[in-house]
Amino acid sequence: MTNLKLALLCIFTSFGIQAQGIIGAWENDTTSESGDQLKTVITFVDGYLASTTFNASTGKFIATHGGSWTLEGEVMTEKVEFDTTNSDRVGTEISYKLAISDNEIDILDTHLKFDRIDAGGPGKLQGAWLMSGRIIDGQAQVRNKDSPRKTMKILSGSRFQWIAYNTETKQFMGTGGVTYTTINGDYTERIEFFSKDDSRVGLDLKFKYELVDGQWHHKGLSSKGDPINEVWRLRD
């Protein structure tokens, strides 16, 4: 192998290791001028991210954005799919310079620092999932996977966020999160923020789940107490 090929291999390998090292959930805690404790959680899974800020004391939702991402050296590029602060950014690309260590991300342009919450993990549900259908009265209702109207769940090793949005109209419909567990076929969500209804904060929602041919079958009661039976698939 020539010296040039060896050098290129080392560069590409280091990029891959760095991209893998960012997978997981990260957190920044700040105090607002009014004394509120604000929490921002960024969840990175393979190819997709979601970043959300909420009031850690009250659960009041403040803002979220996310989409697909790539990392080259210290530059991360996000192709925005949803953004509650500036919907004009939907469909555009924004870039950040990052310094990444095992337990900290420093966004160099903003001087914001995030501490690692989890490193992803071997969990079966880690990834970005799109709702692909519902089962109603025993009949499957399938969603068009290419539709701009999306309901997505992003799960790291311990954090989750669901987001409903439309990439064509740039409309944002809602979001919620932030921790989950999976034990013996039970999938349980702890709601720490919910953009539609702060009164749901603090709820534990338990569902039955199973993976069937790579699809996530998810059955239980919604935060309103309505029965749901959903099918989710990993994003490409």
Examine the domain organization and report whether 133 and 66 are in the same domain.
no
Q: Both 114 and 21 in a single domain?
A: yes
> Mean pLDDT over residues 48-72, rounded?
96
Rounded to an integer, the average pLDDT of 155-183 is 96
Q: Which of 98, 118, 138 is the last residue of a domain?
A: 118
- Please indicate, yes or no, whether residues 164 and 223 belong to a single structural domain of this protein: yes
> pLDDT band at residue 120, thresholds of 50, 70 and 90?
confident
Answer for the pair 184, 201: CB distance below 8 angstroms, yes or no.
no
DSSP tag of 144:
P
Say which residues have a Cβ less than 8 Å from residue 229's Cβ, sequence separation at least 6.
Answer: 134, 135, 136, 217, 218, 219
Last residue of a domain, one of 95, 118, 141: 118
Q: Which residues span the domain enclosing 105? A: 3-118
5: pLDDT strictly greater than 50: no
Higher pLDDT, 87 or 144: 87
| Cα 119 from Cα 11, distance rounded (Å) | 23
Average pLDDT in the 172-188 region?
95
pLDDT at 136: 84
Structural domains in the chain (count): 2
- pTM of this structure: 0.88
Yes or no: say if 198 and 59 are a contact pair by the CB < 8 Å rule.
yes
In this structure, the answer to whether residues 159 and 216 fall within a common structural domain is yes
pLDDT tens-place string over residues 9-53: 333 333 444 566 899 999 999 998 888 999 999 999 999 999 999
Does residue 204 sit in the same domain as residue 145?
yes
**Distance (Å, rounded) from C-alpha 33 to C-alpha 138?**
52
Q: Are residues 195 and 111 in the same domain?
A: no
CATH at 39:
2.40.128.280
